[in-house]
Structure 1
């Protein structure tokens, strides 16, 4: 086999393999983010998704954003949604509640839905004594 035939065959094989990889990555399931405020006070919340096994912070950070949550009223929560913030993988979720300068203990998120999309739902509420707390849910 001459060199030209070898290179042509190799180029075709590599092109085929790479096109298969891009098709697979475009089928990745997206992770959405839904933040609900059940509290009657507005809040500014910082949210970070971090890879659990990264060597440093810059490598770990997958998503970093802030959400301004209007106050909930009459038992109805307000909702802020962000679609496709990250691929569906396990993450450490770090929450900062800026209006009270408080960092919430990290939450370990593990994807668990079979469908094409999944959302991490973060609910903000307050207890009878006024303390603000968070609940984490998964929406399939």
Structure 2
């Protein structure tokens, strides 16, 4: 099933299929992608590959199992990577977040997103050098 959705972005970089398995060189709003999938009954963004994409908020991504970040720019953090991290009381179900599992983010850039999830992931994110 193909569902057209409007996601902000630069001209020529706007995706149109909310259910694509691969997104390449596009700009997309994580919230808009989630909303389109949620309306179709999918409660988690799962089984997707994002290559050379700009993924925009505002949103908080709940990183679950089998999510890989390769050559990723987690975005502006005000000089402190801790500004991107939210520690949940329960690392598997956090109300108001966008859950993501079994996804690959390759050479992507995030903008306006916070991240939450299991301690192991958050500790890895916090270990990144501040730029």
TM-score range with shorter-chain normalisation?
Answer: under 0.3
- After TM superposition, the score normalised by the length of structure 1 is 0.22
Which structure: greater helix fraction? 1
Larger radius of gyration: 1
